[in-house]
Amino acid sequence: MRLYVCALAAAMLFATAAKAETGYDLWLRYTPVEAQYKNRYAVSAIVAGASSPTLDAARDELNRGLAGMLGAAPATAGTVTGDGALVIGTPASSSVVAGLNLPLNALGREGYLIRNVVIGGRKATVIAANSDVGVLYGAFAYLRLIQSRQPIADTLSAPKTKIRILNHWDNLDRSVERGYAGASIFNWHTLPGHISPRYIDYARANASIGINGMVPNNVNANAAILSAEYIEKAKALADALRPYGIRLYLSVRWSAPMEISKLKTADPMDPAVKAWWQAKAAEIYKAIPDFGGFLVKANSEGQPGPQDYGRNHADGANLIADVIKPYGGVVMWRAFVYANDPKLDRATAAYKEFVPLDGSFRDNVVVQVKNGPIDFMPREPFSPLFAAMPKTSLMLELQITKEYLGQQTHLVYLGPLFEETLKADTYARGPGSTIAKITDGSLDGHATSGVAGVANIGNDADWSGSIFNQANWYVFGRMAWDTEISARAVAEEWTRQTFTADPQFVNPVVNMMMASREAVVDYMTPLGLHHIMAYGHHMGPAPWDDTGPREDWRPVYYHRAAKDGVGVDRVASGYAAQYRSPLKERFSKVAATPEEYLLWFHRLPWDYRVKSGRTLWQEMVAHYRRGVDAVAKMQSDWAALKPYVDDERFGQVTSFLAIQHREAVWWRDACLAYFAQFSGQPFPPDYAPKYPLSYYQAMPIYASPPP
């Protein structure tokens, strides 16, 4: 059910300013179009054939959207009797669609076609596909065109990747690891008896951007999720999501056979362990016939796994893959692993563990690789694993929730980060071997492909902790569907649907969004610095922190600042050599390394001259200051847009930008106060941190200094 706040905006200077909104409706607001567009988008009737839960969902969404945007829901008809009909269906469900002989073969199961046609001398538009879910995706695309004020032109679209999935790091008690938008939306206590309307709205939102899978529980899994009690609950959730084309997967704990059934071991080579997984798979698929499969985090950050028994990752993944293959299930095995070895560069760890196993995994195993080798940093080079496992299906893992990028209060649009990753050329099979081509399976001919996103969703009214965080959920889905779409194009789509299609608003907001990721890199981790956030909560700067229980959890491990210089020599560590030529040669030479990765790959003296002619220290100061200035510009740009936005959402963004500016200043001043003690060089005449280093070091968690 769509929810609106019924308070009127204090002023309505422009027609596009609206009633106050909580943000609950996301990009599916369906507000009235301007008068000049009503004839362009007018629909006389929806012509649908046979009924199914998914086709009914498509028809209901079209009715909802057209009623909201055009003022009334169109009639329902069995045939085209006049101009302006909207025909929906598959050749199997609709005789009208079947009679059009449309070019659907290349669209696969999930693709769709939107086309203007003439039927019996009457002008009509058809949304057609090979499957009901394809029709649903087409219906959402059709409504997106109207919301964006785009012409209803011929469109053929099919997803580039097969698995487009949200990983929720939600715990069974409704707490959310790295979640910044309230408690989990999944209330396991009330399942299976109660299906919250929010589950349906969640499914609608995901289907609208092409997401077709979800994992409702944390990768740091509770074994109870595989108990009979929770399988019954999961079934109810899967049933609710199914009409929207969303398959349910579960994250599992490797030691579940021991914790649930008291087996003495979880050794993947033990016959009793295999029998346990076979029985559990049969139990799950009986309850959920279209169950997607399992996500596994094993032998990582203290989680149990096959290595506890002298086995390797392939041994563990293949055990589960074998028992679920008859059902069509997939195992997503995470490659986020690293040993607690101070002599080993953590960035090299996953490569060393997984590359020797290339070719050992079953064909229904996909190894899930984070975009970078460390951990969702504001910027890091792509993981060298992507180029090194041609015989294994690899799945890209991105983080939508901004664990290291200001969490809910910093406006950081992740589209440029996602695009940077997908377009990165790995040279795995020569030039043009992009991560997009690896993860969609086309480069090496893998049938299983996918992109996973760590969800930023919670039970806050606006779902994501802030209005602009919604854009990161949106862009993830759109880029998972189309790995070649540009971040700017998606930002424009989202802005037009979420706020207004008025170019006087859209253009400055999109520019602001597109600049926001580079701003956060500048004021947090410029020039290849990384992981200098405070330990544990990752909120705020702490480059001085050397107190974590593991050396590679301490920020000092990642910059190693001293009088003689700063940065990590990843040529000596062997990390640079993990890339394919010409990248390994480029990254091995200081002068050839892109400056955005300079201190990632190299340890340099403070007086090293960068391309600008400044010393490394001076360039660091310039980047930190530029980041703060960029946030100040975002504040002024947003302030000028008040006439176009309802007071509630305008106020939230305004207050969060103020927090972001204060915290950007905090980042700048705290980091520069720390690094200054080593650089031996002065601050510019017009700048110095407001407080001494000791002040910043003593600040409590989630506090920023006063203005």
The set of residues, in sequence order, having a beta carbon less than 8 Å from that of 111 and lying 6+ positions away, is: 104, 129, 130, 134, 137, 156, 157, 158, 159
Q: CA-CA distance, 640 to 655, in Å (whole number)?
A: 15
User: 83, 301, 585, 607: which is the annotated catalytic residue?
Assistant: 301
Question: Which residue's entry shows tokens 């377009």?
Answer: 423
Question: Which residue's entry shows tokens 């101070």?
Answer: 342
- The answer to whether the beta carbons of residues 115 and 126 sit under 8 Å apart is yes
Residue 409 corresponds to which tokens in the numbers above? 């209060």
Q: CA-CA distance, 434 to 423, in Å (whole number)?
A: 6
Q: CA-CA distance, 350 to 367, in Å (whole number)?
A: 11
Q: CA-CA distance, 670 to 673, in Å (whole number)?
A: 5
Bridge partners (DSSP) of residue 334 are 368
The set of residues, in sequence order, having a beta carbon less than 8 Å from that of 141 and lying 6+ positions away, is: 112, 114, 155, 157
The set of residues, in sequence order, having a beta carbon less than 8 Å from that of 189 and lying 6+ positions away, is: none
375 belongs to the catalytic site = yes
* Strand 112-119 versus strand 155-157 pairing type: antiparallel
Strand, coil or helix: what is 652?
Answer: helix
Residue 540 corresponds to which tokens in the numbers above? 């705020």
- Rg from Cα positions in the chain: 26
Helices (H), 346-391: 349-354
User: Residue 224: CA atoms inside 13 Å, Cβ hemisphere, count?
Assistant: 8
403 belongs to the catalytic site = yes
The beta strand positions in 155-304, using DSSP E, are 155-157, 163-167, 213-215, 247-252, 293-296
Q: CA-CA distance, 607 to 679, in Å (whole number)?
A: 8
Run of H or E residues at 477: helix 470-481
- The answer to whether the beta carbons of residues 588 and 571 sit under 8 Å apart is yes
Smallest CA-to-CA distance from 595 within 678, 689, 521, 704 is with: 521
H and E: helices and strands count for the chain: 21, 14
User: 60, 375, 420, 637: which is the annotated catalytic residue?
Assistant: 375
Strand, coil or helix: what is 485?
Answer: coil
User: 315, 403, 462, 619: which is the annotated catalytic residue?
Assistant: 403
Bridge partners (DSSP) of residue 238 are none
Give the residue numbers annotated as catalytic, written as ranges.
301, 375, 403
